[in-house]
Amino acid sequence: MKKWLVAVALVLGVLLIAGVLVVNSLDLGDILGGDCFCGDGDASWSPDGTLIVYAHNDREGDTHLYTISPDGGKPKRVTDDGNDESPVWSPDGTKLAFVQSETDQPDSLDVSPSYVQVMNADGGDTRILGNETGVGLLRWSPNGRSVAYLGEDDALHVSDSEGRSDVTIELGASEDVSFDWSPGGRRLVYSNGGQIYFATADGRLRWKDFKSRAVGFVDWSPDGSHLAFATEKGVDAMDIGGRRLKQLGAASSSYPEWSRDGTRLAWVEDGVIVIAETDGSKRQKLVLRGGYPVGSPEWSPDGKQLVVPAHPAQGNYDDGETKLFIVPLTHPKRAHQLT
């Protein structure tokens, strides 16, 4: 859910910069979510590529997690209590981490607390990680032993996946924070206030290797050699030492996402899915027939497909409702609605 809200903010930035926008047959209400922040999003592939977990927000505002085969079929609901979002598979595919918030009380103006939870991938009992409330940004460590998340206390937390220990990395005043693990799991990279920082996973050391500005999202390549990040001006990539900066695209309406082999990036730019290699070569633009993408594409483990949230162009849907679409990269014109 929070990814969808961030996508809306990014689109607003594009609108403000460009001054005008023409998007297929969709009006501004469609792009901003219209009357309904509902539908499907926060998609994540299982490591073996056989399932996709996602958050479904119904018209009453309740959000729960479902899994579905990328080939289609009937979704399976895997959570029941509270509102659940931002699901992420563990590296071995046996567990899911997600953010759960208590059901809002209609007569209360207080924001419901939310916590990072872990459960078996097929459902069942959940357990809370750490002692701090989470805000929806979380990532498993590469070895699957820890989950890092951003807390409402303006700090990064690294918790044992069994909930037995917690490391806190103080950020001070936080603004536009994002983060990612190094492939080896010993370090974290994070953005805060437009700057890029590094920290050891135990929180003992923090440093900044190079100058950066206006960074709103940062993502470490799977091979550890590059960083990709989004700014108000576009999508960039550079080597880990801060050299050979390359702008790959204009202002985007989604975060850039690495393919699992680290050779390509995908993002959404002006309603079009863009794919490019780290040096900007082999750039492709894919128009999604039947929908308007509004969130980050997620790569399948084999790199042959994308799943992307989009507003359907046809059908009996609420204004602003989102659904998941599958894009086969060998035959992009065969893209189809999954949910």
Q: Are the C-beta atoms of 277 and 299 separated by less than 8 Å?
A: no
The pTM score is 0.85
Q: How far is 96 from 119, CA to CA, in rounded Å?
A: 6
Pairing of strands 134-140, 336-337: unpaired
Lowest mean pLDDT among 14-23, 215-224, 306-315, 323-332: 14-23
In DSSP terms, 285 is beta-bridged to 274
- pLDDT class for 104, splitting at 50, 70, 90? low
How are strands ordered across the β-sheet holding 155-160?
Answer: 134-140, 146-151, 155-160, 166-170
| Greater model confidence, 117 or 123 | 117
Nearest CA-CA partner of 299 in 267, 331, 323? 267
325: confidence class by pLDDT, cuts 50, 70, 90: very high
Quickly state the pLDDT bin for 31 (edges 50, 70, 90): very low
At 135-165, the pLDDT tens digits run 768 999 999 999 999 888 888 999 988 877 7
CB 38 within 8 A of CB 58: yes
What is the per-residue pLDDT for 148? 93
Res 1 pLDDT > 80: no
Tens digits of residue pLDDT in 195-228: 899 999 998 888 887 777 778 889 999 999 999 9
pLDDT score of 5 more than 50: no
Note the pLDDT of residue 301.
97
Instruction: Tell me the pLDDT band of 288, cut-offs 50, 70 and 90.
Output: very high
Mean pLDDT of the chain, nearest integer: 83
Helices (H), the chain: 2-18, 28-32
Q: Which pair of structure tokens corresponds to residue 161?
A: 């996946």
Ramachandran class of 263: left when φ > 0, alpha when ψ lies in -120 to 50, beta otherwise? alpha
d(CA 117, CA 94): 14
Mean pLDDT of 43-57: 96
Domains of the chain: 1-75+255-339 (no CATH), 78-102+112-220 (2.120.10.30)
Q: Which CB contacts under 8 angstroms, 24+ apart, belong to 65-73?
A: 65/96, 65/98, 67/121, 68/338, 68/339, 70/45, 70/300, 70/305, 70/307, 70/326, 70/338, 72/338
Would you say how long the chain is, in residues? 339
For residues 279 and 236, what is the distance between their CA atoms, to the nearest angstrom? 10
